[in-house]
């Protein structure tokens, strides 16, 4: 699932021109101001490693997609990166046209250039095999200008688009520091030394999470799976017995009742799945209370005190903890306690902690732990945990065979 990939250190580029696929797809406000620049900051080590080798560095990224909020130019992104690098990051309002090509050709060693939103090029929106994208105009126009391609955008690794899978087939390619950290963290899930392994899975993407659970069970990668959020409610209903009308109403509103038989099959396979024993509920009169899972008297919005204690105890002696999806409705401060408490318990443990970014990553904030990795990739992480092949990794493996003679 996760083969060894060439790194910047393997190629050790010196004074060459390098194209780097980064992921600067950040949240923006209605006026186009960047709300969270953590994704931009995450790529700084890769850019610095190339600058230390006197490379001329050209960055390519997307921002949102046509027709959606945030689909805009990347000039603000270049200004943020300039701040973190402590040097100017030039920006060109072009991707593959004459202006971009001219700027790339003029770029000197030790300089950094950011191309505009790669999704301004319509080819970038097409999903196709790497050999098709290797013949795209995007790749054919840019590839001859570079000596090396660095893939550092783990959050896009589940896409099969030109800037992701096309360049590795025509250019010597390696992974950047961020991509290497992501793959190394995922590799720990397969490492027998990291047992027992506890997965804390919640959030609203129930069908996707069931895929993850099925893969974990099939490959015996999980010792315990602690469910929260809507995922837990589906498994709660799958266990049978008396299911509260409030639970059934939530599942019906979200169109999740059809997933209950699938969750039941998982339980009947002997999967080590735990469901909450109590919930924080919101009643019709607006009051908030805790009640046992056997007698839910309101809309379940978070896990309860007893469940927090039980899950924390199960995490205490684990060697690896993977957390994906919040335990409650984080948009309301009254229902953040479960997620915050579980993260706190995981941080106190001696386990290596992998957090699936997004809402949970934001809750961690500036808290640090030596054995911790906060992933930058939602869809890519999901696909990897579900046991599916990541197109970017497949293309990089093929590139390693071609340019490094790796078997």
pLDDT, tens digit (0-9, with 9 covering 90-100), for 343-378: 999 999 999 999 987 778 888 877 778 899 999 887
Nearest to residue 21, comparing CAs of 43, 37, 45? 43
Say yes or no: 258 and 151 in one domain: no
Task: Answer yes or no: is 15 within a domain.
Answer: yes
Domain hosting 305: range is 191-376
Say yes or no: 104 and 208 in one domain: no
Three-state DSSP string of 129-153: CHHHHCCCHHHHHHHHHCCEEEECC
Q: Tell me if 74 sits within 8 A of 90, measured CB to CB.
A: no
Looking at the structure of the chain, the number of domains it has is 2
Q: Is 172 helix (H, G, I), strand (E, B) or coil?
A: coil
Say yes or no: 48 and 145 in one domain: yes
Say yes or no: 166 and 200 in one domain: no
Task: Answer yes or no: is 256 within a domain.
Answer: yes
Residue stretches of the chain with pLDDT short of 50: none
Task: Answer yes or no: is 185 within a domain.
Answer: no
Q: Is the dihedral of CA 336, 339, 341, 344 positive or negative?
A: negative
Task: Answer yes or no: is 384 within a domain.
Answer: no
> Residue 407 and residue 389: Cα distance in Å, rounded?
18
Task: Answer yes or no: is 160 within a domain.
Answer: yes
Q: Is 227 helix (H, G, I), strand (E, B) or coil?
A: strand
Say yes or no: 102 and 175 in one domain: yes
Q: pLDDT value at position 337?
A: 96
Q: pLDDT value at position 254?
A: 95
Task: Answer yes or no: is 150 within a domain.
Answer: yes
Task: Answer yes or no: is 186 within a domain.
Answer: no
Two structure tokens written together for 202: 């919640």
Phi and psi, residue 302, nearest 5°? -165, 165
Say yes or no: 104 and 71 in one domain: yes
For residue 245, the domain's CATH number is 3.40.50.1260
Say yes or no: 163 and 212 in one domain: no
Task: Answer yes or no: is 382 within a domain.
Answer: no
Say yes or no: 233 and 86 in one domain: no
Q: pLDDT value at position 242?
A: 82
Q: In degrees, to the nearest 5, what angle opens at C-alpha 310 toward C-alphas 308 and 311?
A: 65
Q: Tell me if 217 sits within 8 A of 269, measured CB to CB.
A: yes
Three-state DSSP string of 341-383: HHHHHHHHCCCEEEECCHHHHHHHCCCCCCCEEECCCHHHHHH
Q: Is the pTM of this model over 0.95?
A: no
Q: pLDDT value at position 271?
A: 94
Q: pLDDT value at position 1?
A: 58
Say yes or no: 227 and 351 in one domain: yes
Say yes or no: 90 and 203 in one domain: no
> Residue 327 and residue 346: Cα distance in Å, rounded?
14
Say yes or no: 132 and 215 in one domain: no
The DSSP string of 182-226 is: HHHHHHHHH-TTS-SEEEEE-SS-HHHHHHHHHHHHHTT--SEEE
The neighbour count for residue 365, using CB atoms within 10 Å, is: 8
Say yes or no: 204 and 245 in one domain: yes
């Amino acid at each position: 699932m996760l083969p060894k990939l060439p790194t910047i250190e393997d190629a050790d580029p010196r004074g060459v021109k390098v194209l780097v696929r980064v992921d600067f797809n950040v949240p923006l406000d209605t006026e186009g101001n960047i709300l969270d620049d953590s994704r931009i900051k995450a790529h700084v080590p890769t850019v610095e490693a190339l600058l230390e080798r006197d490379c001329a560095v050209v960055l390519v990224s997307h921002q949102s997609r046509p027709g959606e909020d945030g689909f805009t130019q990347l000039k603000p992104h270049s200004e943020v990166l300039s701040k973190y690098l402590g040097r100017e990051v030039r920006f060109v309002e072009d991707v593959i046209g004459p202006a971009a090509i001219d700027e790339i050709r003029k770029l000197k060693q030790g300089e950094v250039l950011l191309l505009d939103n790669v999704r301004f090029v319509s080819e970038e929106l097409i999903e196709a095999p790497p050999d098709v994208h290797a013949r795209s105009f995007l790749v054919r126009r840019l590839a001859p200008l570079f000596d090396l391609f660095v893939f550092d955008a783990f959050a896009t690794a589940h896409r099969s688009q030109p800037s992701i899978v096309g360049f590795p087939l025509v250019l010597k390619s390696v992974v950047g520091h961020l991509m290497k950290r992501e793959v190394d963290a995922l590799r720990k899930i397969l490492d027998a030394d990291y047992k027992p392994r506890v997965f804390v899975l919640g959030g609203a993407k129930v069908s996707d999470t069931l895929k993850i659970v099925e893969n974990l069970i099939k490959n015996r990668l999980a010792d315990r799976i602690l469910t929260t959020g809507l995922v837990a409610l589906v498994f709660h209903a799958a266990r049978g017995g008396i299911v509260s009308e409030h639970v059934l109403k939530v599942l019906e509103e979200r169109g999740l009742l059809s997933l209950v038989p699938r969750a039941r099959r998982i339980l009947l396979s002997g999967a080590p799945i735990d469901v909450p024993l109590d919930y924080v509920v919101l009643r019709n009169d607006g009051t908030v209370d805790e009640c046992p899972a056997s007698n839910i008297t309101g809309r379940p919005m978070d896990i309860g005190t007893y469940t927090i204690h039980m899950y924390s105890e199960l995490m205490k002696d684990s060697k690896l903890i993977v957390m994906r999806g919040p335990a409650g409705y984080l948009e309301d401060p009254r229902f953040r306690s479960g997620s915050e408490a579980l993260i706190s318990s995981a941080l106190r443990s001696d386990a290596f902690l992998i957090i699936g970014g997004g809402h949970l990553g934001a809750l961690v904030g500036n808290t640090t732990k030596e054995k911790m990795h906060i992933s930058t990739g939602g869809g890519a992480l999901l696909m990897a945990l579900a046991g599916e092949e990541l197109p970017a990794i497949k293309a990089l493996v093929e590139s390693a065979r071609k340019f490094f003679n790796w078997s």
